[in-house]
Structure formats: structure tokens, C-alpha cells
Structure 1
Amino acid sequence: MSFEILKPFGPSIVKTVIPNEIIMEMNKFIDDLTKEDEKKFDHGPFLIGNVAQEFRLDIEFMKKIKWAEFLGKSCQKWLLEGHDISIKKFDIIDSWVVKQFKNDYNPIHFHDGQISGVGYLKVPKNMGNTVQNSKKTNHNGKLVLIDGSKRFVCTPTYIITPQVGDFYFFPSYMMHIVYPFSGTIEERRSVSFNAKIDEHAAKLK
């Protein structure tokens, strides 16, 4: 399994890959939602995003497709190999899927718990150009992780271009933003989670 610990600034983050079987199961679950299911699993009122469709994953479904297992094992590997921290507790607070369309966005925010993450289930082929259509960096549809402010030889941001299957773990306190995109009717679909770990481990530096 691809697994890379990244340290673009102070805290480390992890880039790994969601197994194809889980991607297929999640996409099927979301695609098959009925109107009643959409009401039942609607997670939008608990999230900050300016997004019309955000759906909670229930614990039984997460266990069935081994999503909880994937998150727990990846988190253990990250903390042990990257920080020499051993954990026994990994409690998922919530996990949800975001269906983002043209002009939807998530403002700067942080999450609950100690560990959070996001991965990608569907990504538009083209998320539009910048207004000036110049050589400026195009942030359309991208996730930006933020840590502190700009310092000498230290960047405060890490820009993530969504790719289907890529998944990133990061400390839940880390501020981040998802930019809107344009020029397409395609869907940008992501999955996120929050989790609590051992109290003593969460306090370690």
C-alpha cells in the first residue's frame, strides 16, 4: 500500500490510497440514496460548508466495507512510524461524504477530535480556469492545509490537488479550506472523518 509521511511544515500529514473496493462501495452507497435516505443521512446541518449535499456514513456501513479498519490501521502506522506514538484507542466521531458541485465551497475551518482526514471518490476532469486565464496558480476545487503564518524557509500552506483514491490524514486542529470550481457540471466527491485517540497520546508532542 502506498504510504507517505509528509512534513511540509510543523505537524506531519500522511498521504495514502483508499482501496478500490472501498471507493466502489462508497460511491454505490451515495449513488443509490433515495430521497428518504438523503433525509436520514443528511449531515449538512453539522458541517460548515456551503454545499448542498453532505451525507453521514453510519458505523455499520463503515465496518461492513472495512472503512473503519482502513482509517484505524493507517492512523496507527502514521503515529508509530512518524512520531513513535503507540495508540490503542481509535474512536470515529463521524465520517461523511461531500458532493461538491460548481460554486460550492468550504470556508476556512477545523474539525473535532484529534485526527481528521479527507480523500477523493470522484474528481471532475476539468475544474475551470482562473478569471484572467493567466499563469496564476489555479486553486479551483483544491484543498489547502494551513499551519501558522509565513516564516523564513517555511511555507504555511500545503496545496492538495484532488485525485481519485488519494487520502490525507492530518491533526484535526489544522485549519483548511476547499475552494469552489467552475466550468463543469461534474461532481467533486470527497470523504472525511474525525476521530479520537488515547488521551495520553493526544497530549504528546
Structure 2
Amino acid sequence: MSIEINKPFGPSIAKITIPDEIISAMNKYVEEIVSDKKKSEDLDFGYNLAGNVQQEFRLDFEFMKKNNWAEFLGKSCQKWLSEGHNISIKKFEIISSWIVRQFKNEYNPIHYHGGHISGVGYLKVPMDMGSTVQKEKKVQHNGKLVLIDGSKKFLCNPTYVITPKVGDFYLFPSYMMHTVYPFSDTLEERRSVSFNAKIDDDSAKLR
């Protein structure tokens, strides 16, 4: 498992690749839920999340264990904290993990999560997420994730913009504000998977 650790501002952000077999199993699982109205209702998680999107549902823990998702999250977080911060965690507890199905004109407003660690990875990404209205003058942010820390300062940009790519997975502190912009000009789905987790209190202290 290789890891890339970036520190564009105060907290660090880790980037890891989701194994192909997990992506495949996750997408198959999503399609099964989508086609089953009762399962979709039973696992609905939208009431607990900030997104203005078509569908959000939680992953059940049996699925997360069976398809090694829980193991992947634990090892990824351990590697990030060990290599990036010299922290050896003694406990890793997944609070929840969920799927976000986002389509044209939908978005996720600025928000933060619970627990100590959060993350997001990509299972499906539209080929083209549209253009800006003022095409020659504006930076393209359609469908992108933006992590936010503090405010604009000299020599310090408060935002970190992520272009979604299938297989990319990002870890960040759960308190970090973030948002996802809407996109246009496509009927394709932007599908992501997120999680929140707690670690032991000693490891979570400021260092």
C-alpha cells in the first residue's frame, strides 16, 4: 500500500488508491441496493447527511468486513498517521461508511463530520462534468471536492481542490470543512464512498 501525504495548510491530507477488487465489489453492492426499494429504504442515510443529492445510503458492517473495506480503512489510517505524524494508533472504530450518488445540478454544501478521521473515495466519475458559463475566464470546479482550513493568509491558501478520479481515496481530519460543487451537461453519476472513524483518545490529542 503506497501513500501520498500532502500538507497544503495546517492538517495533512493523505491520498491512497482503493484496490480494484474493492471498487468492483462496492459498485456491485450499490447496484443491488439501488434495484431493491426495501434495501434502499432500510439503508437510507440521507437524513443524517448534508448533501443535496439524489441518494445517500450507509454500508452495512457485514459488507464492509466481507469485502475488506473495513480492513482497508484501518490500514490506510494507520499508515497515514504513522508515516505522516509518527502516531501509532491503539484503536480504530468505524462510526459509519456510506455511498453518495450525485447527479447533474446536485451538490454537497460546506460541512464537517463527526469522529476523528474522515475520508472520501471515488467509484464512478462522469467523463465530462460540464463547463463554466464564462468559459475563458473561470477556473473549472464542476464536481470537485474542496477541503477548507481557516482563511486566506499571506503565503497560505485555505483551500485544497481535488479532482475526483476513480480509485483515488483521501483521508483528512473529520473537523475539516469541505464541499462538493455541482456539475452539468451530463446524465452520468458521480459516485463516492465516505466514512467517519474514531481512534483512541491518546492518539487523537494535539501534537
Structure 1 moving runs of 4+ over 6 Å: none
Q: Secondary structure at the match of 2:115?
A: coil
The superposition leaves residues 158-199 of structure 1 with CA deviations (integer Å, 9 ceiling, x where unpaired) of 000000000000000000000000000000000000000011
Equivalent in 75, 85, 88 of residue 83 of structure 1:
85
TM-superposition CA deviations, 1:47-104 (whole Å, max 9, x none): 0110120010011100000001000001011111111111010000000000000011
Aligned-partner residue type, residue 179 of structure 1: Y
Q: Which residue of 2 aligns with 1:161?
A: 163
Per the alignment, residue 46 of structure 2 pairs with: 44
Question: Which residue of the partner structure matches residue 28 of structure 1?
Answer: 28
Percent of aligned pairs with the same amino acid: 72
Distance 1:179 1:119 in 2: 16
Say how many residue pairs are matched.
205
Q: Distance in 1 between matches of 2:91 and 2:139?
A: 40
Q: How does 1:128-147 map to 2 (within 5 A)?
A: 128-147=130-149
Measured after TM superposition, the shift of residue 10 of structure 1 is 0.6
Contact 1:44 1:52 (8 Å CA) reproduced: no
Mapped to 1, the partners of 2:25 and 2:203 lie a distance apart of 32
The match for 2:122 among 100, 120, 123 is 120
* CA-based RMSD: 0.7
Amino acid at match of 2:140: N
- Higher mean Cα deviation, 120-129 or 43-52? 43-52
How far off its partner does 1:118 sit? 0.2
- The TM-score with structure 2 as length reference comes to 0.97
Deviation at 1:133, TM superposition (A): 1.5
**One-letter identity of the residue aligned with 2:114:** D
Where does the alignment leave 5 or more consecutive residues of structure 2 unmatched?
none
